[in-house]
Structure 1
């Protein structure tokens, strides 16, 4: 376990990662690190033609997240400041393993490990698990134009990929605690009691006494 609490909120597209991370950061009085999404110039093109624009998209995300997390590690975590992020760097592999193929996938894996293997790992992952219907409703509600034509099959596969990824991280990063939030049952925005329950589980983990 890291000496300094480092919390990552994760889940598929539309799960509510940024919203929950922002709420937890306010509750826990921690700085929040938000991933760069809409600034990616390849995002709209990717959703229109995944095969054509996957490598450019994934490399942009990887390089920006590497820089962002590297700066956060040196400026905050190593200085003893707890941090909450709305992503785990591992998400780059979750997406790239699905979108890239052949030599491009292998090249990406190599670059990923060179850049990220020595980055600080989260002490806690808050994983928002949600069904396709819930994700689609939230995607529609937030109204990002480039997400409106998203392939339902792609999103469903992403849900399954996240499940596999969390199982893998439980083995490869045993020092990291994974707190699973039922995104179908818990509306942490509209229901203060449900948010408080999530926050209490995170607080207990930080205190070294995780709730069961």
Structure 2
């Protein structure tokens, strides 16, 4: 029994998740789900003082993403309309584990489980990763105010956390294909060939019968 395609594009800050999601959504004519980032009122404060503002920041993201997933389930997946998202809900745990105090993390983790246990989960993951220089360059280029104070050390740690998370994810979910792409070698914004290559990979997974178009 196949599933309606629900593809998530994931990877650390600045790697190009949203750009790739937009291109894939338009290529396959899937609904695009974009995460709410700049609307988070705590984010600027968070990058200034992670310890002080992490719980509020993570809770804001969790509530918003929960609402988005509810909408996606009701308006798209239940009506057999495919979706591509520029995040996977599990990313919340990557950030929370790194930024919250232990007592806060325990509370957060319980709330996360309650909210997400019956939510739809993506059935194909596109995982974009890249070296620190590439990430810093792209963050500089897009010039978001809220990201002005991101520390390179935070970004480097986040990349490692993502790598660990994806390795665990693949081990725990052998039925969910993960397409890994190295953003240092691939520039799908500048090079049509690179984009075609990615589209082809996704196409192969869609055609395998793991999901139904």
Q: Above 0.5 in TM-score? A: yes
**Normalising by the residue count of structure 2, what TM-score does the alignment of the two structures yield?**
0.96
C-alpha distance in structure 1 between counterparts of 2:127 and 2:209, whole Å: 19
| Alpha-carbon distance, 1:2 to partner | 5.0
Give the match's secondary structure for 2:7.
Answer: strand
| Alpha-carbon distance, 1:209 to partner | 6.9
**Which residue in the other structure is 2:7 paired with?**
7
| Alpha-carbon distance, 1:121 to partner | 1.4
C-alpha distance in structure 2 between counterparts of 1:73 and 1:164, whole Å: 28
**Which residue in the other structure is 1:189 paired with?**
189
1:59-102 alpha-carbon deviations (Å, 9 max, x no partner): 00000001101110121111111100000000000100000012
CA contact (8 A) 1:129 1:182 kept: yes
Give the match's secondary structure for 2:178.
Answer: strand
Which protein has greater RCO, CA pairs closer than 8 Å, 6+ apart? Answer: 2
Alignment of 1:43-192 (within 5 A): 43-192=43-192
CA contact (8 A) 2:130 2:184 kept: yes
**Which residue in the other structure is 1:28 paired with?**
28
1:37-61 alpha-carbon deviations (Å, 9 max, x no partner): 0000000000000000000000000
| Count of residues in Structure 1 that have an aligned counterpart in Structure 2 | 210
CA contact (8 A) 2:6 2:82 kept: yes
Unaligned runs of 5+ in 1: none
CA contact (8 A) 1:77 1:83 kept: yes
1:140-161 alpha-carbon deviations (Å, 9 max, x no partner): 0000012122111110000000
C-alpha distance in structure 2 between counterparts of 1:201 and 1:83, whole Å: 17
C-alpha distance in structure 1 between counterparts of 2:203 and 2:117, whole Å: 27
**Which residue in the other structure is 1:201 paired with?**
201
Unaligned runs of 5+ in 2: none
CA contact (8 A) 2:2 2:209 kept: no
Over aligned residues, Cα RMSD in angstroms?
1.2
| Alpha-carbon distance, 1:173 to partner | 2.3
